[in-house]
Structure 1
């Protein structure tokens, strides 16, 4: 064990903590468990509480500036008040629910660049609180999310980075105060038409909202703008869909001219992820079709445009995308 001195709040000679996770690899909806080991310092102390928080780094916009903030989005208490004699050791097991909306940090064993996730241990002594260092946690994708990401890869999109944005997406069941954006660079068949595509999951126990946002290039007589597609689906349906065909069709409909590659329309099962065999209670919800009259907003990172949903169903999928092209002064899906 590697005990960490909590000297920032308690001073020299205070207690030390070592948090050991049973396994750092989990999926959304699962339970993260472990043990907090506490070693007494050179004098007796009264521990008021021991808590743990699942934290991550979130990008916050404030006026014309941006900064990163550490946000706790799940919390568990390992123990209440107890007496810790000098030099004595105490161990507290804990369990923490991982929210279904927890953003993935790992896809097929590869870390998503830009994502930071961990468990932070909080110890309170005499109303002084010390929050220890992060113990890294890996959030693996659900099979339903893997199917979407595999579809993007199959079309030739290249992962750039992922980040978390503070805010809410209108018309979804989002509970957390932030959402994830997974950014992809387009393959050659979309070059000159699309700068990038961003993918967002808003996940529940029964299904998820899949939101795609294409940053379209401007032409000689037109400005660049964004197009938004949304698909509401159960986990069971998403895992069995041909996402490559559906995304390719959507991009063609919004002006990306995807090219109708034949390989995108065949049956496809993503490869099995090795080294992760922990079952999860995936839900089996019904598809939910969105035929839009709601207004979306989009004003992040200087895009400066709004967007409205136009109703429509994309062929090649067993349910409906909502298509939206962004026009000036219409509003934004992302608050």
Structure 2
């Protein structure tokens, strides 16, 4: 009997959980819908709660070093406590709001290199190992984000990689403890002055905040440094702006002001 209780505490013969998404695709500010399927094991258990959350991979700087960690950044409890009998099945439907500043993971049907995003499911079981599940989620850009990305590609910039960094961006409205950077390689007219362009989107329900960072190419006697700029995009008028011309002009002016001539 003692051995059996030990096995139960380790989760042997315990319940299982599986989140089934109606679709893994979503956008910032949208929703994910589906149901969590709970199946009882070979003995009754007391469930404390069932919860789901969004999880991504975050880069953390610590002194002179850095490391990566999985961080859950939005969570929703689906149930309170209940008794789960052996072999019993419960389907718990959910509608899960996706935060506006959730990092994007897909662009034009292609996965952004370096990005990880998943929906985690946790069944908290009293006096036993918790049961969990992780399902991949694809976060597609908002139409306004697509306009900016398309303009940069038309200017000749090429996708590099993307990552999520813990910290805050100065001077913008930020709701999460991290931000995404999408790296681009510059086209020849810009490549003489800069190594790369880093793009950060921080959407809100009212506007899209765009932050651009130019990484200056250092020379034999000069040290490279970063140059920042930001602007807002109005969702209602985004289609009325020539973003290719606007970004080209802004990038050239910003580069020239900082001595990055090309």
TM-score (norm 2): 0.91
Cα offset, 1:237, TM superposition: 2.9
Aligned twin of 2:101: 101
Question: What are the within-5 Å matches in structure 2 for residues 251-290 of structure 1?
Answer: 251-255=251-255
CA contact (8 A) 1:198 1:212 kept: yes
How far the C-alpha of 1:135 sits from its partner, in A, is 0.2
1:58 and 1:70 in contact (8 A); partners too: yes
Higher strand share: 2
1:220, CA displacement in angstroms? 4.5
1:71 aligns with 2:55: no
Structure-1 residue corresponding to 2:89: 89
Give the deviation of 1:31 after TM superposition. Answer: 1.5
| Corresponding residue number in structure 1 for 2:209 | 209
Matches within 5 A, 1:1-335: 10-126=10-126, 128=128, 130=130, 132-255=132-255
Please report how far the alpha carbon of residue 127 of structure 1 lies from its aligned counterpart in structure 2 after TM superposition: 5.2
Assess if the C-alpha contact under 8 Å between 2:17 and 2:131 holds in 1: no
Q: Deviations over 1:251-273 (max 9, x none)?
A: 222336xxxxxxxxxxxxxxxxx
Aligned pair in 2 of structure 1 residues 176, 129: CA closer, same or farther (>3 Å)? farther
How far does residue 82 in structure 1 lie from its aligned partner after superposition?
A: 1.4
Q: How far does residue 166 in structure 1 lie from its aligned partner after superposition?
A: 0.1
Distance 1:137 1:221 in 2: 46
Structure 1 residue 221: deviation in Å? 4.4
Structure 1 runs, 4 residues or longer, greater than 6 Å off = none
Q: Deviations over 1:46-100 (max 9, x none)?
A: 1111000111110001111111111111111221111111111111111211001
How many residue pairs get aligned? The number is 253
3-state SS of 2:245 partner: helix
SS for the counterpart of 2:134 is strand
Q: Please state whether the residue corresponding to 2:130 is helix, strand or coil.
A: strand
Instruction: Could you tell me which runs of 5 or more consecutive residues in structure 2 were left unpaired when the two chains were aligned.
Output: 1-6
The alignment's C-alpha RMSD in Å is 2.0
Q: C-alpha distance in 1, partners of 2:94/2:128?
A: 22
Quick check: 1:115–1:163 contact (8 Å CA) kept in 2? Answer: yes
- Assess, with a 3 A threshold, how the Cα gap between structure 1 residues 225 and 94 changes in structure 2: closer, same or farther: same
Q: Relative to structure 1, is the Cα distance of residues 150 and 58 closer, same or farther in structure 2, using a 3 angstrom cutoff? A: same
